[in-house]
Amino acid sequence: MKVLSVASECAPLIKTGGLADVAGALPAALAPHGCTIKTLLPGYPKVMDQIAETEVVATLPDLFGGNGRILAATAAGLDLLILDAPHLFMRDGSPYLGPDGRDWPDNPERFAALSWAAMLIARDGVEDGWKPDIVHGHDWQAGLAPYYLRRHSPGTKSVLSIHNIAFQGLAPPWRLNSMRIDASDFHPNSAEYYGQISALKTGLLNADKLTTVSPTYARELLTEEFGMGLQGVLRDRRDDLVGILNGIDLDAWNPETDPEIRTYRTPKGKAPNKIALQEEFGLPDGDGPLCIVVSRLTEQKGLDLLIDALPALTENGGRLALLGSGQPELESAWQSCAARFANVSVKLGYDEALSHRMMAGADAILIPSRFEPCGLTQLYGLRYGTIPVVALTGGLADTVINASDAGVKAGVATGLTISPLTADCLHDGLLRLCSLFSDSKVWTKMRRNAMRHSVGWESSGAAYAALYKDLADST
């Protein structure tokens, strides 16, 4: 089965979040199930710099303001189709933001072009004769692909994955023509969303199947609390919505072979990495757990609540090392915490190698997200025996077994879950963490459980393959 995966980012070539990890992992996860995946990716400067050889397999004149090409290439073990459109993608900055930190003003057209290219590949194929059986789009950036397919290549089946429904690709209605959306489709049962165009809503209404990145998040999306205004659309399509849990790259995240750390096979092997981590962050020794946060600093991640709950950790011998960046007010608040507490250290920004060293050296990772479609850092934590302390939401709820009295007694706990997510409950959770850490027998058992927990793509790959097969059989 031939699948075209359409993504605005793909690890390890270009990454701002978990979407990239999924796009990068799917080809290898699906290969054992007879699925051949090509990934359609914009030709950002960072992507083009990592590709040695390319072949032009399609030309795309008049592509949303200029000419474009489809380039076939391989990189990092991925079979790629690169949308080479310099007028849209050859820019400094991130995939979505300019150097000033603001959205590119033509983002609606930039990613409409990505969706349009996916449709053309599905309808016409590329020069080597390759045509996909299924187009699998990711998030709003590929949201118009199912719409274009229904209008221009109705024989091609489509899947749209929701990685985070908070981002919906909104645009004013005067851009209908520039986004190649027929004006007759600007209504509540198609592209219109409270007076605006929504690329994500358009995709949700036109794709044959919908997925999201954990079973719990799939259920949460049907509620007003988590549906972000699209819960009605998803309730109408609940029979076509499935939650498939993300996995992680077990080779890239492997405590036995990780080149960034002193490798280990058992929880006891963490000790030298813990010492190194304390030194790297300038943290003192302590009787409590060494905790980490590796996160974007946004309200979604609940890190404002963690500031209020910190005394439960710092007053019980715990330490915290934080790596992240995001909202300026949260960056400032965390820098103030580091200045106030000797056992809190903050590094602003993101460093992939440092994140590996943090996972290897820490006792626990704190993830108090208000919502979390899947989450990957808790999976990294489990893999490295770094106990996750998480909010009971989305994929966090699906992957962490709570250290309740019953969970500890049964010997199955892998972490702690916090519910409801308030500063007081988080405070109590950190007290519980310190208590569990003080019992070496219980703590070692939890670490062993965590490191044995399945966090790879085996079952998820099979679930995607089954979904593709059902779609193909329905033609």
Tokens of 121: 């590949």
- Burial grade of 19 (CB within 10 A; 0-12, 13-18, 19 or more): buried
Tell whether 15 is in a known binding site: yes
Q: Which residues pair with 290 in a beta bridge?
A: 319
C-alpha to C-alpha distance for 360 and 380, rounded to whole angstroms: 9
Query: Token pair 């080149």 is at which residue?
Result: 259
Interstrand relation of 209-212 and 157-162 (parallel, antiparallel or unpaired): parallel
227 vs 116, 212, 259, CA distance in Å? Answer: 27, 12, 41
Sheet strands side by side (includes 416-418): 344-348, 319-326, 290-297, 364-367, 387-391, 416-418
Can you say whether the dihedral through the CA atoms of 346, 293, 225, 206 is positive or negative? positive
Which of 337, 328, 260 is CA-nearest to residue 296? 328
Three-state secondary structure readout of 340-400? HCCCEEEEECCCHHHHHHHHHHCCEEEECCCCCCCCCHHHHHHHCCCEEEEECCHHHHHHC
| Paired residues of 320 in beta bridges | 291, 344
Q: Which positions make up the binding site for ADP-alpha-D-glucose?
A: 15
Q: Which positions make up the binding site?
A: 15
